[in-house]
Amino acid sequence: MAESLSEDQWYEAGQTGFEIAARGEEGIHSYLDHMQHTFAGTRHAWGPRQIYGRLYEWLAHETEDTAYDPLRKIMTKHAFNTLPMGSEDEIFGQRPSRRILHSIHSAHLETGAHPKRLKKVLHAVGLIGEDQLHKSDERVLFHADDAKFYLDRIEESMSLNQTRAYINAPRPVDRVLFEAGLLKPWLHGGTGVLKDHAFAKRDLDEFLSALTASAVPATGAETNLVPILRAAKMANCSTPEIVQLILDGRLDTIRTDPELTGFLSVLVDPDEVKPLVRRDDHGGYSLREVEQKLKTSTRVVKALINHHHLEAVTAVNPINRCPQTIVKRDILDSFMERFETASSLSRRSGTHLQTMMKRLQGLGVDAAFPKDQIPATIYALDQVRSVDPDLLPNP
């Protein structure tokens, strides 16, 4: 073809080449970009020959003149940086030391993932734009380093149901661990693009390895050890709490059942777990403790609370984590400084109950609370002290 050019055409070609080369490497890069852009509008398979045309053919096969080595070097650099070239591809006998760009097609060949799934995933994570979705697989390009995390995992993806089977966990442990952030999907679903969460085998293997990192097989003598689910019930805590204790290295005794695998094989000591999952003390007395402090009955304590003579609140039991009615310690201490049951005062003063009650009644001291409210005689100690100080022994 070059031999058929006229002198004028040779002149024009030379002038065009000079104008490109006069701008140095930047000008040559710009022209190579133009050639690549022109090629992108075709349906041909990519390759240096298809993109760079006769220029590549000439430099690669028709001249060995070393004077053109700088141009070959520029074209090589341009190809490595702008084409999806991997270790199997070459230009001018050179192969890239690392892949810079991937195409959907090259990623498919490398991972085995279906091109449609690759497009969907890479679009979902923002590595390819909406405008690229209509392009052929070879022309959808993205940075290999940015996509490595996703490409490494895409072919080993599992749904949450598959994850449950893989780690050998019963339903609904898989969802509980996921919602606690202990099972982490590499790709979140629930969007218009991706319906399901995707979990990677390598991430699940890492989770199981961390769970059993310090474990050894259990012996027949270690009868105190139980599976995580059983320990959670015995310690009144959640499964994720025990898993987190293991991952944080806070349990000294971790074993595995040689007959099981995965999550169900892990054994712990519930007595070691219990103090670590106990909630902060609520700072109050249970109603049973109030009964003991006041030396009275359940019926009396509930009546005092129901008729607002003794303030009570609802708090979470630090051990079983159930809501319970309690009386704050300072509230009960204040109540006991001001009031006392007749039977308690009788025992404390060493006076017969009926004798003491008649004596106080004769002095004009009645029960502090109405009989129709409180089924016990409780005195206000200030009144007792004011009429008969000798009845109250020194503290």
DSSP character at residue 143: E
What's the pLDDT score for residue 18? Answer: 52
SS3 at position 82: helix
The pLDDT tens digits for 37-95 are 777 767 677 777 777 777 778 787 877 888 878 888 888 888 888 888 888 888 888 89
248-266 b/e with 16+ CB inside 10 Å = b? eeebebbbbeeeeebbbbb
- Whole-number Cα distances in Å, 295 to 291, 345, 347: 6, 10, 11
Q: What is the model's pLDDT at position 23?
A: 65
Tokens of 210: 């961390």
* Angle formed by the axes of helices 104-111 and 115-124, nearest 10°: 110
pLDDT at 204: 96
> What is the DSSP code string of 150-219?
HHHHHTTEE-HHHHHHHHT--TTHHHHHHHTTSS--SB---SSS--S-BEEHHHHHHHHHHHTTT-EEPP
pLDDT score recorded for residue 191 = 67
Going by C-alpha positions, the residue among 300, 248, 241 that lies closest to residue 274 is 241
What's phi and psi for 358, nearest 5 deg? -65, -40
The Cα 381–Cα 333 span in angstroms is 14
Q: What is the mean pLDDT of residues 148-170?
A: 91
Predicted TM-score (pTM) above 0.75: no
CA separation for the pair 393, 226 (Å, rounded) = 55
Do residues 141 and 99 touch, judged by C-beta distance below 8 A?
Answer: no
- Residue 168: phi and psi, rounded to 5, are 60, 60
pLDDT tens-digit profile of 243-290? 999 999 999 999 999 999 999 999 999 999 999 988 877 888 999 999
Mean pLDDT, rounded, of the chain: 86
Asked which of 24-38, 108-122, 306-320, 369-383 is least confident by mean pLDDT, the reply is 24-38
Neighbouring residues of 339: CB distance < 8 A, sequence distance ≥ 6: 368, 378, 379, 380, 381
Exposure string for 288-320, b = 16+ CB within 10 A, e = fewer: eebbebbebeeebbbbbbeeebbebeebebeee
Q: How confident is the model at residue 137 (pLDDT cuts 50, 70, 90)?
A: confident
Measured CA to CA, the distance from residue 393 to residue 395 in angstroms comes to 6
| Rounded Cα distance, 187 and 157, in Å | 9
